[in-house]
Amino acid sequence: DVRNADAVVLPGVGATRDTMAALDRLELSPLIPELLRSNVPFLGICVGMQVLADASEEWGTHPCLGVVPGRVCKLPDTAGKVPQIGWNQVRYDPDAPPSLLRGIPNGTDFYFVHSFYVDTPDATLVAARTDYGLPFPSVLESGSLAATQFHPEKSGRWGLALLRNWVDSVQGGQ
């Protein structure tokens, strides 16, 4: 039962509209924001990060979970090939490295598969950015919320280090 979970991971590849439909069907749409308000550790990966926004422009404008202010927007065609499929650098403020990236060198490449990104006005949520035609948030962190636009599970050694950092934080190992 997700309601009694010690932590939640929402991974995925796909469209926000389809993911929201599945979350609605499973009655998880109201539960995820409730869990975050209760400080249950949450890790969103790829579309699991995108559905946290207020709304998405993918396949027409539609509401998302509303946990992160902002919209899910399409990467610009000027970025090169869209979707972005492959390795790209993740950069953070070296004076304030995010806990997810603890021990991971600034500018490390992670594996991305996406056409859309979260455009949030809340800079305090943005823990790291990546450039692909424009700088976009690639890591969000706030309280019990952590999310990545890239796929740590496909990102080799550093992806495993990121997942270990998250598990350690859930287990109180910081």
**CATH assignment at residue 70:** 3.40.50.880
Phi and psi at residue 16, to the nearest 5°: -60, -40
> Which among 64, 73, 141, 151 is annotated as catalytic?
151
What residues make up the domain containing 92? 2-170
Residue 10 has which token pair?
């929402």
Under a CB-based contact definition with an 8 Å cutoff, are residues 132 and 89 in contact?
A: no
Flag whether pLDDT at 173 surpasses 60.
Answer: no
Mean pLDDT of 35-64: 97
Q: Strands 53-56 and 62-63, how do they pair? A: antiparallel
| Mean pLDDT computed over 59-69 | 97
Give me the catalytic one of 27, 34, 46, 73. Answer: 46
Point out which residues pair with 139 in neighbouring strands: 128, 148
Residue 79 is predicted with a pLDDT of 64
What is the pLDDT confidence band of residue 174, given thresholds at 50, 70 and 90? Answer: very low
Q: Is 168 helix (H, G, I), strand (E, B) or coil?
A: helix
End-to-end CA distance of the chain: give it in Å, rounded. Answer: 27
- The answer to whether 62 is a known catalytic residue is no
φ, ψ at 32 (rounded to 5°): -60, -50
64 a catalytic residue: no
Respond yes or no: is residue 153 known to be catalytic: yes
CA 82 to chain centre: 19
Number of domains the chain contains: 1
28 touches 44 (CB < 8 A): no
